[in-house]
Amino acid sequence: MSLVCSISNEVPEHPCISPKSGAIFERRLIEKYIVENECDPINGQPLTVEELIDVKTPPIVRPKPPSATSIPATLKTMQDEWDALMLHSFTQRQQLQTARQELSHALYQHDAACRVIARLNKEVAAAREALATLKPQTGISAIQAAPQPSIASEAGGVATQPVEQAGMSAEVIQKLQDKATVLTQERKKKGRTVPEELVSQEKLRGFLTLASHPGLHSASVPGILALDINHSDQSKILTGGNDKNATVFNKDTEQIVAVLKGHTKKVTKVIFHPEEDTVITTSPDASIRVWHVPTSQTQLLLRCHDGPVTGLSLHPTGDYVLSTSSDKHWAFSDIRSGRLLTKVADTAEYGLTSAQFHPDGLIFGTGTEDSQVKIWDLKEQSNVANFAGHTGPITAISFSENGYYLATAADDACVKLWDLRKLKNFKTIQLDDGYEVKDLCFDQSGTYLSIAGTDIRVYLCKQWQELKVFNDHTALATGVRFGKHAQYIASTSMDRTLKLYGIE
């Protein structure tokens, strides 16, 4: 068996062994390596020339050198270059192995760092959500322990509604009629003039995004589905989300006033009581809840439907609520006593999708899954008119404050305007193909109409001219409302943000 030098991989002329690594070397090469590095080339331990041990082997028979020996210096130079090449090649192999080990270690560290960053991002999102929903809010008055006496309640804080219908008594009908008479007279006075405080067309065209608030609802279940503004306190905004909560937010202080938790499914409709610190919400969990905002507690729990509640509207008296459901019924309930006054079945085979009271409160509109818009007489509890023309389920309906116009939308990328005096469609706003309309809203003067869906659009009524388009949301817009005198516009979206538009 022949020996092989660990540096040159050649048979050594003068083999020697290193006591540090036990490797065989050509003495000439190892001596040069020791002079330069003072260590064993295999394991890097300190090594001196004196420590090398010669190995006795039979002499190697080599061919005779060429006869041209007249240039010994040239041969010596070539030998030295060969030795240097072998040393350099060995050093390169060692450096390559070290670089591979360092790269592998760096890759493992990078992978571990990515895992840590992902975990920290998740913890930060959870912390922000907890902060937005649980932290005490500055500037909020102390929570009142007792609920408002005008809302029905029990010792447990929630009044449950009897299943049987109490009926539309003469007293209730007279109350509805008296309120309608007052509202009609007020509307005739208002209809002659436009409020001086109302934002002009030119100013509305100059509306910009003033604020965006993404922290009102959970980040783990994104999406805000419903929106309303407090008529008596324009700084308070109410939202309902996919996270099963409703949130009361103060846009001026940018603080959460209350988080209302109780529904077992997403909150799809929300209403601010115009005169009291009360909120009404509904959900596909087939319940309607009346909340006392200062205590964030449910005061009244209405269960008048057998299926998901799809529409919700508060009567102008502030004492009754209208609801529709996929169970093909609409219901009229008293939020003071908790009684179900009446529940009427739609004769169609399809569920109801939306509901809205006329400004007078004596009639209301409902939308159905089979594209129908129906007008009902509340006192007679009868269907008095039907509007056909849409294709697809009705997604939103809204009465103008002037009492003459009804705007409706469905899954057909258009908004239809109906004249309630002539019972016909007099205008259709055709939107882009694939445009989804999720909400409609007239301002309180009936001058502007806003559409929420693929984007936010504002139209001038009567001329039905498009005034402004907002494209700030990164997902489908689900709600839009005008502030008082259209001084600002609020919108919500599936991107979990509440956005406010106005003049800077």
What does the pLDDT average to over 153-182? 71
| 466 beta partners | 459
Q: Please answer whether residues 473 and 212 qualify as being in contact, where contact means their C-beta atoms are separated by less than 8 angstroms.
A: no
Predicted local distance difference test score (pLDDT) of residue 279: 95
Predicted local distance difference test score (pLDDT) of residue 132: 66
Predicted local distance difference test score (pLDDT) of residue 264: 92
Confidence of residue 407 (pLDDT cuts 50, 70, 90): very high
Predicted local distance difference test score (pLDDT) of residue 72: 81
Structure-token match 């305007």, residue found: 417
Write the pLDDT tens digit of every residue in 4-48: 999 988 888 899 999 999 999 999 999 999 999 999 999 989 999
Write the pLDDT tens digit of every residue in 483-503: 988 999 999 999 989 999 999
3-state secondary structure of 170: helix
CA dist., res. 184 & res. 297, Å (int): 35
- The mean pLDDT value of the chain amounts to 87
First to last CA, the chain: 93
Write the pLDDT tens digit of every residue in 432-488: 888 999 999 999 888 999 999 999 999 999 898 999 999 999 999 999 999 988 999
- Checking if the pLDDT of 332 tops 60, the result is yes
Predicted local distance difference test score (pLDDT) of residue 45: 92
- Checking if the pLDDT of 186 tops 90, the result is no
Predicted local distance difference test score (pLDDT) of residue 62: 62
List of residues 6+ apart from 253 with CB closer than 8 A: 137, 138, 139, 235
In this chain, the answer to whether the domains covering 1-61 and 170-502 adopt an identical fold is: no
Written as one string, the DSSP assignment of 392-420 is: S-EEEEEE-TTSSEEEEEETTSEEEEEET
Give the C-alpha distances (Å, rounded to integers) separating 385 from 363, 372, 374, 382. Answer: 10, 10, 6, 9
Write the pLDDT tens digit of every residue in 231-268: 888 999 999 999 999 999 999 998 999 999 999 999 99
Predicted local distance difference test score (pLDDT) of residue 159: 45
With the CA atoms of 135, 139, 141 and 143 taken in that order, what torsion angle do they form, in degrees rounded to the nearest 10? 0
Confidence of residue 185 (pLDDT cuts 50, 70, 90): confident
Predicted local distance difference test score (pLDDT) of residue 151: 40
Phi first, then psi, for residue 142 (nearest 5°) are -60, 140
CA dist., res. 342 & res. 349, Å (int): 20
| 408 beta partners | 397, 416
- What proportion of the chain, given as a percentage, has pLDDT over 90? 60
Q: What share of the chain is helix, strand, coil (3-state, %, to 5)?
A: 20, 35, 45
Predicted local distance difference test score (pLDDT) of residue 227: 94
User: Which superfamily does CATH assign the domain made up of 1-61 to?
Assistant: Zinc/RING finger domain, C3HC4 (zinc finger) (3.30.40.10)
Higher pLDDT, 22 or 348: 22
Q: Please answer whether residues 236 and 227 qualify as being in contact, where contact means their C-beta atoms are separated by less than 8 angstroms.
A: no
Confidence of residue 63 (pLDDT cuts 50, 70, 90): low
Q: Please answer whether residues 282 and 289 qualify as being in contact, where contact means their C-beta atoms are separated by less than 8 angstroms.
A: yes
Predicted local distance difference test score (pLDDT) of residue 317: 93
Question: Cα–chain-centroid distance for residue 365?
Answer: 31
- Checking if the pLDDT of 313 tops 50, the result is yes
Structure-token match 């020339």, residue found: 49
pTM for this predicted structure: 0.69
List of residues 6+ apart from 190 with CB closer than 8 A: 401, 445
For residue 332, what are its two tokens? 């009229």
Predicted local distance difference test score (pLDDT) of residue 1: 58
Q: Where are the domains of the chain?
A: 1-61, 170-502
Q: Any idea what the Cα angle at residue 114 is, between residues 110 and 117, rounded to 5°?
A: 135
Q: Please answer whether residues 473 and 455 qualify as being in contact, where contact means their C-beta atoms are separated by less than 8 angstroms.
A: yes
| 465 beta partners | 460
The letter for the amino acid at 304 is: C
- Checking if the pLDDT of 66 tops 80, the result is no
- Please tell me the class of the 170-502 domain: mainly beta
Q: Please answer whether residues 368 and 353 qualify as being in contact, where contact means their C-beta atoms are separated by less than 8 angstroms.
A: yes
CA dist., res. 473 & res. 372, Å (int): 30
- Checking if the pLDDT of 392 tops 90, the result is no
- Checking if the pLDDT of 354 tops 70, the result is yes
Higher pLDDT, 338 or 194: 338
What does the pLDDT average to over 108-129? 88
Ranking 116-125, 134-143, 258-267, 286-295 by mean pLDDT, the lowest is 134-143
| E runs forming strands in 214-287 | 224-229, 236-241, 245-250, 255-261, 269-272, 278-282
